[in-house]
Amino acid sequence: MRIDRQALLDLATGAAFLGSGGGGDPYYAQLLGEAEIARRGPFHLIALDALADDALVAPCGWIGAPTVSAEKLPNGQEAILGLRALERIAGRRIDAVMPIEIGGGNGLAPLLAAAELGIPVVDADGMGRAFPESQMTVFSIDGLSACPSVVTSANGALRVIETDDNLDHERQARALSIEFGGNAHMVEYPLSGAAAKRHAIGGSVSAAIAIGAAVRRARAAGEDPFAALHAALRASGLYPFAGTLFDGKVVDVERETRGGFSVGRVVIEGFGGDGQMDLEFQNENLIARVDGQVRAMVPDLITVMDRETADSITTERLKFGQRVKVIGAAAPAVLRAERALRFVGPAAFGFDGPYRPIEALNGWNCG
């Protein structure tokens, strides 16, 4: 599959939704991608099955607080530096790259590096959405090592991390991102083609493109983009339940950068006094409550969107007065398995009580 300019714009729209409020705003990556397509032509996207078993696949993306990345732009060479370093460590050429997470700007992050290196992007990722921490990948859940990983900064600094503990890797990488100014690029979880086929969440990039295309077509036809979004999510095969959780106006935002994360809370008041939603976030939206009752929780997706345009609003761009709809979607099944919930369920973020699926909390039926 070729990612031309239209597919890139659709990917940006779909990845913004799948970020669940995080992953970084994709707008800057979209602009760079458009310029790259004008210079070199479309990006090359391949299916997992097209990988040779002995291929070297490099997942990559950005680590740090989205509030910083919105103001501190990259120089465009961070990914190349990291990938070249991994090639030196491995003693061979990288055959393909992959988004470490499909959500937000990280869903687009590998495209530019792939084009410069002359290699394809794999239609897969390691999270099926965005999560704030490195060990919250399907690769870590399945027992794979994040290392060797390479962290690079805009000023050319480069560090290699080697550890057998993926949580320790996250802590080291997070500290480096803070040292590098609050945001850094990371190449991690290097995989063989066989391992990628066994562990990665396949089809997530093309699913994001299809989600974005559905929203675009609905807008152009004067139809409800939210209904189109819900239908596209359910049709993807990865996000089987989706719907609107709340409709209202942002009346309060508390946000700070702490420990390399953007953390805080947003309050949304329903129109006509129709209840109040409280959202808590750590880069990504983690839990949504309406009048104290939980309506959605990680690993399921919670995305705040402009109620007129259906544009996703990342947590660093939430502000008083925005009129929004909060959309929820079921996470891919692999993230809801018992072994995965230890890494990405509510308890992993310090919330009490067991995980409850979004469709059970809202009485949704599939289809």
pLDDT digit string (tens) for 139-148? 999 999 999 9
Output 289 or 260, whichever has higher pLDDT: 289
Of the pLDDT bands very low, low, confident and very high (cuts 50, 70, 90), residue 154 is confident
Per-residue pLDDT, averaged over 338-354, amounts to 95
- Preceding omega of 299 cis (within 30 degrees of 0): yes
Regarding pTM above 0.85, the answer is: yes
User: Is 164 within 8 Å of 148 (Cβ atoms)?
Assistant: no
pLDDT in tens, 172-190: 999 999 999 888 999 999 9
pLDDT at res. 367: 46
- The CATH T-level fold of domain 238-362 is CV3147-like (2.40.390)
User: Is 86 within 8 Å of 94 (Cβ atoms)?
Assistant: yes
Per-residue pLDDT, averaged over 96-116, amounts to 95
Which residue in this structure is represented by tokens 């399945």? 142
Of the pLDDT bands very low, low, confident and very high (cuts 50, 70, 90), residue 118 is very high
pLDDT in tens, 68-77: 555 566 677 8
Cβ burial 149-173 (10 Å sphere, 16+ → b, else e): bbbbbbeeebbebebeebeebbbbb
Helices 109-117, 27-40: axis angle to 10 degrees equals 20
CA–CA separation, 185 vs 234, rounded Å? 32
CA–CA separation, 104 vs 17, rounded Å? 7
pLDDT at res. 182: 83
User: Is 324 within 8 Å of 76 (Cβ atoms)?
Assistant: no
Per-residue pLDDT, averaged over 267-283, amounts to 93
Per-residue pLDDT, averaged over 306-312, amounts to 96
Averaged confidence pLDDT in the chain = 94
pLDDT in tens, 14-45: 999 999 999 888 998 999 999 999 999 999 99
Per-residue pLDDT, averaged over 215-228, amounts to 97
**3-state per-residue secondary structure call for 224-288:** CHHHHHHHHHHHCCCCCCEEEEEEEEEEEEEEEEECCEEEEEEEEEEHHHCCEEEEEEECEEEEE
Q: Which CATH superfamily is domain 2-202 in?
A: CV3147-like domain (3.40.1610.10)
pLDDT at res. 64: 83
Joined tokens for residue 146: 């994040």
Taking the domains of the chain in order of start, what are their residue ranges? Answer: 2-202, 238-362
